Amino acid sequence: MQQRRGLLAPIDAPLGEAREQYRLVITCAANSREYATDQSGFTVGASDLAELGSGTIVIEVQQVGDFGTSPAARLTTIYP
């Protein structure tokens, strides 16, 4: 594992976590929804998307670990 000044370099490091868990937050102007899952893939239902409204949607995913949560991966898109 690479180190830089005593800190981990910005690379994926082995986790060794007790379980796999992710936090998914979908935010639109009208509403926000939060989900937790133990799968690396996730499907959001059409009714949940409809409740968010239309316009710009921000999707954030974080991996939840035993000792903390990863920085969020963020995707911004437009929903009709």
- Tell me how far apart the alpha carbons of residues 80 and 52 are, in angstroms, rounded to a whole number: 11
Q: Which residues does 75 contact at the CB level (< 8 Å), separation at least 6? A: 58, 59, 60
pTM: 0.73
Per-residue pLDDT, averaged over 5-26, amounts to 67
**Cα–Cα nearest to 79, from 6, 24, 29, 34:** 29
Task: State the pLDDT confidence band at 15, using cuts at 50, 70 and 90.
Answer: low
Give per-residue pLDDT as tens, 30-49: 899 999 998 888 999 888 88
pLDDT computed for residue 48 by the predictor: 86
Residue ranges of the alpha helices (H) in the chain?
46-52
Mean pLDDT value across the chain = 81
- For the chain, the structural domain boundaries read 20-79
pLDDT computed for residue 34 by the predictor: 96
pLDDT computed for residue 28 by the predictor: 92
